[in-house]
Amino acid sequence: SAVISQKPSRDICQRGTSLTIQCQVDSQVTMMFWYRQQPGQSLTLIATANQGSEATYESGFVIDKFPISRPNLTFSTLTVSNMSPEDSSIYLCSLGQMNTEAFFGQGTRLTVV
Amino acid sequence: AQRVTQPEKLLSVFKGAPVELKCNYSYSGSPELFWYVQYSRQRLQLLLRHISRESIKGFTADLNKGETSFHLKKPFAQEEDSAMYYCALKAGGYNKLIFGAGTRLAVHP
């Protein structure tokens, strides 16, 4: 199974600032996904991060708010921009490979004050 | 529309009692369904997938296409089964998943 390291594990941020979350994998993966889990809610897919091309965003999520980088096949970042208290959530990265299970990072717990 | 529904937010049972966590889905193609579990302070992990038809930790789940359901069952609940359980539908070829709202299972001694 793949090993995923997600940093930071938690952070408390001031509104109006931005936070970049990193996801590092110990092997090359084709797709990486970013999910958000708001308090008491389920996981919602934010975007699919492809290496070498722009991320594909789900309905309700835009690049200006959640810019994503995917510089290589083992690394991706998600930035939460111009944060407000409504952005307080757990953010998770996940791996996508054909015909294998989806692995998840341990998540980043973000609190915006 | 692709959707996963878990109608129960909380399921509370006593140790040794049978457990059934409900999951219904809406998907136009041939569905691939999973159950994920999140124990306290641990990351989300796969419990089982319908194509494997396996039993993990005593849990089983059968895909019923007629009822569009994928309920998770265990005949005798244990305290260590207490966790959040998420039903998920694969919506793409690379494990792009749509999750249900989750059910918290609480097993009491």
Q: How far is A29 from chain B (nearest CA, A)?
A: 10
Which residues face A89 on adjacent strands?
Answer: A110
Residues A35, B86: Cα–Cα separation, whole Å: 14
Q: Do A97 and B93 lie within an 8 Å CB cutoff?
A: no
Identity of the residue in A42, A95, A105 whose CB atom sits nearest the CB atom of B43: A105
Amino acid at A107: G
Give the residue from A43, A46, A93 with the most B CB atoms within 10 Å of its CB, the best one to mutate.
A43
CB contact A30 to B (< 8 Å): yes
Give DSSP secondary structure letters for B14-72: ETTS-EEE--EEE-SS---EEEEEE-TTS--EEEEEGGGT--BTTBEE--BTTTTB--E
Q: Give the whole-angstrom CA distance, residue A109 versus residue A53.
A: 27
Partners of residue A100 in chain B, C-beta under 8 Å: 95
List chain A pLDDT tens, one digit each, 113 residues. 678 999 999 999 999 999 999 999 998 888 899 999 998 888 999 999 988 888 999 999 999 999 999 999 999 999 999 999 999 999 999 987 666 677 888 899 999 99
Q: What radius of gyration do chain B's Cα atoms show?
A: 13
- Which residues are paired to A106 by β-bridges? none
Task: Report pLDDT for A101.
Answer: 72
Q: What is the pLDDT along chain B (109 residues), one digit of tens a residue?
A: 789 999 999 999 999 999 999 999 998 888 889 999 999 888 888 899 887 778 889 999 989 999 999 999 999 999 999 999 999 998 766 678 899 999 999 999 9
Residue whose token pair is 């136009």: B28
* Any A CB within 8 A of B94 CB: yes
Query: Taking the alpha carbons of A83, A88, A90, A95 in that order, is the dihedral positive or negative?
Result: negative
What is the per-residue pLDDT for A5? Answer: 93
Q: Could you tell me what percent of chain B has a pLDDT over 90? A: 68
Looking up tokens 């296409």 gives B65
Strand partners, B38: B84
- Window 71-110 of A: residues touching B by CB (8 A cutoff) are 92, 94-98, 100-102, 104-107
